[in-house]
Amino acid sequence: MTDQNISQHIEKLRNLLQRWNYAYHTLDKPEVPDSEYDRVFQELLDLETQFPQFISSDSPTQRVGGVPLESFSKVAHKLPMLSLNNGFTEEDLADFDRRAREKLNVETLEYTAEPKIDGLAVSIRYEQGLLIQAATRGDGSIGEDITQNVRTIKCIPLKLLKNKEIPDILEIRGEIFMSKAGFLDLNQKSERKFANPRNAAAGSIRQLDSTMTAQRPLEFICYGVGEIQNGTLPNTQFEILQTLYKWGIPIAKELQLVRDKTGCLQYYSEILKKRENLPFEIDGVVYKINNISDQVALGFVSRAPRWALAHKLPAQEKLTQLQAIEIQVGRTGVLTPVARLTPVQVGGVTVTNATLHNADFIKEKDIRINDFVNIRRAGDVIPEIVSVVLSLRSDNSEEFEFPSNCPICNSPIIQKSKFFQCTGGFSCSAQRKQSIEHFASKKAMNIDGLGEKLIEQLVDKNIIQTVADLYDLKHEQLVNLDLMGETSANNILQAIENSKKTTLGKFLFSLGINEIGETTAQILANHFETLERILNCTDLENETTNISGIGKERSKSIGTFFNNETNRQIINRLIKNGIQFEEKAISVVENNSNIAGKIFVLTGTLQSMTREQAGFKIESLGGKVSNTLSKKTHYLIVGNEAGNKIAKAEKLGVQFIDEPTFLKWLENKD
C-alpha cells in the first residue's frame, strides 16, 4: 500500500470509530457490538504504531493520557464563566419570571429547562472543529488548563462531526461529572474512598497524570456556549443545544422547552419525582430564557445572568443530636456559634457541625445543647439546622449563653445588634488567622498552598503576626513545620513570590476591610487608579460616599480602615516587600487617542460583550469608566434598551457613540 492509501485507510477507521463513539455515548444507540469496536480500534492502533507519521491529535487512540504535568497552567476565559442566581421556592421562581417579563415588556416567556448536574463546570474550545483547549471555571475569569485530562473523556469528541456550518472557533460550556454507577464502581475498585460523585469527578479531572484520569468513569453534558468566531448559531437556547448535539456534543436528554412559570414548575415537579432514578446526582433545575435576543437585552447583574435561574431541589434532611455549641471568631471579631453534632450522612456527606449564625437564630428556633435537631444541607452545600424536635427534648437540655469574654484572647465581648464581637482586634490570634487566610485566598492574593492548617501553625508558633510577615518568611522557618518538607516549603515561598504581582482591586479586597467585598474593592480601584491616591486622600469617607455603588456605611468602613495607623504600616510594609500592581498599557494608550484620558459612561446592553468587559477594556487603554453622567464625561456608550441617560447626556452636551463605533475605537480605528 502507498502512503496515500495507508493515510486514507487510517482516516476511514478514525471516522468510523468517531461515528460509533457518537452513537454509543451521545445518542445512547450503539451501532455495533463492543467486540467489533475493539477490533477496529486495535487495527487503527496497530497502523498508527507502524506508521507514526500519520498519528493525529484527534485520533480515538490518543485518549489514553500524556506525560504527567508538574502543575496546571492558567487560562483566561475570553468570556467570563458566570455563576447562576439560586431560587429555593415557588416565590423565587415567580419573582424571576416577573422581573424578566417586566423588563422585556412581554406577557409570557419561553424557557429551556434541564437538570442542574452536580459536577465540575468546564469550558472546551474547538478550532476548525478540533478540540484545542479545555479549562476549569476557576474564579470565572481565570481557570486551569485541563486539556490533557478532558481529551481522555470518551463522550467528548476530539473532532466535531463534519459540518460546514461549524464556526472557526467554538467554545462550549458544560459539566463534567461521574454517574452514580460509575462512582460506586470506582469506590469499590479504589483504595481511596470518595465521599460523593462530585468530589470523585473534581479529583479525577484535576489529576496531574492524565493516564489516571483516563481510568476514571467521567462523563460530560454541554449546557451552553462561550466565544464564537467566524460562524453563527441559532437565536434560541434550545436550537443551539440541538445544533451542538448534531455536531457530536452530548447534551442533557432531559432538556425541555417550557412555557412561563407554570411550565417551569411542572418540569421541576417531574424532575423531583425522577431524582432518585436519574443516572447522575443533581442539586436543582436550571431555567434559561430561550430567545438569545431576550438574554442579551436582560444582560447580567454582578456575576450572574438575569436570564437564568438555578431552582434548587429540597435538600435531604436527617435527624441528629446537638452535642455542644462552640464559638468561632471571624476576622472582624464577630462571634459565630457553631453546633457540634453527632455525625450523620446528609446527601452523601458526613455532617459533624452546622452554623447557628447569631443569637437571634438560636432564640427563634429555641435551640439548646443536647436537643435532637433536623439537619439539611442548604442548597445541598451548607449544613444548617432546620428545626428542633421538641418531642424528643430531654431534661438535660441546656440553653446557650454567649460568653462575656473572647474564648480565644479573653478580651471583652460587646454586642452590636444581633451580633457579639471581640474587642481584641489584631491582638486576637483568631482574628489574625482569619485575616491572613482571607489575604491568601484565591480571589485575593491567591497564595496557592497557604491554607488554614499552615496559617494556624505560623500564627501559633509566632512566626508571623500580620500579612506583611508572609513576605519575610524563610525556608528554614517552613521546612520543619507539620506536613511540610523541602518541596512543600519551596512551593509556598514560590507562591508567595508569585503573589507580589497583582491588581489594585484584588489587593484592596485582600486587606479585609469590613463590608468591602470583591466588587466594591474593584470600584475603589477604578475610581482612585493608584494606591497612593487612596493613602493620600485627606477625607476618604467623604470622597467615597460620592462613588456610585459604595454608600455611607461602606464609606465609613473605608475611612476607618485607612485612618488606622497600624493598617497603614502594614500596607507600607507590603509595598516595600515587593507588592506591585499591573500597570495600564501606556504604550497602547499613547496611540489610542479616542480612549486614553477620556471618561466613559455606559448605558443599555452591548451585543459583543458585557458592560463589565467593556469597562475593563476602556481602563486597559487608559480611559476611565464612571456610573454617573456629568459635564466631565466625554462619551456615553449606547447599547440596546438604553435608558434615560441619553436625554441627560444631550442636556449636558455629552457626546454619545454606538457599539460599532466603540468597537472600532478599541481596535484603534478612526
Catalytic positions: 116
Which among 531, 551, 522, 662 is positioned nearest to 600, based on CA atoms?
662
**Which residues are 341's β-sheet partners?**
322
Three-state secondary-structure class, residue 305: strand
**400 neighbors 368 (Cβ within 8 angstroms):** yes
CB contact set of 112 (below 8 Å; sequence gap of 6+): 237, 238, 241, 255, 256, 257, 258, 287, 288, 290
**367 neighbors 548 (Cβ within 8 angstroms):** no
The Cα 392–Cα 390 span in angstroms is 5
The Cα 49–Cα 248 span in angstroms is 27
Three-state secondary-structure class, residue 130: strand
Characterize 187-212 residue by residue with b for buried, 16 or more Cβ atoms within 10 angstroms of its Cβ, and e for exposed. beeeeeebebbbebbbbbbebeebee
The Cα 628–Cα 606 span in angstroms is 18
Q: How far is CA 653 from CA 155, 526, 629, 661, 665, in A?
A: 57, 24, 11, 19, 21
CB contact set of 132 (below 8 Å; sequence gap of 6+): 125, 126, 147
Single-letter residue type at 10: I
The pairing of beta strand 142-144 with beta strand 74-76: antiparallel
Count the helix, strand and coil residues of the chain and give each as a percent rounded to the nearest 5: 40, 25, 35
- Length of the chain as a residue count: 670
Q: Phi and psi dihedrals of 226, rounded to 5? A: -120, -115
The Cα 578–Cα 573 span in angstroms is 9
**620 neighbors 633 (Cβ within 8 angstroms):** no
The pairing of beta strand 74-76 with beta strand 169-178: unpaired
Single-letter residue type at 488: S
Q: Phi and psi dihedrals of 636, rounded to 5? A: -110, 120
**Which residues are 612's β-sheet partners?**
none
**310 neighbors 87 (Cβ within 8 angstroms):** yes
Single-letter residue type at 125: R
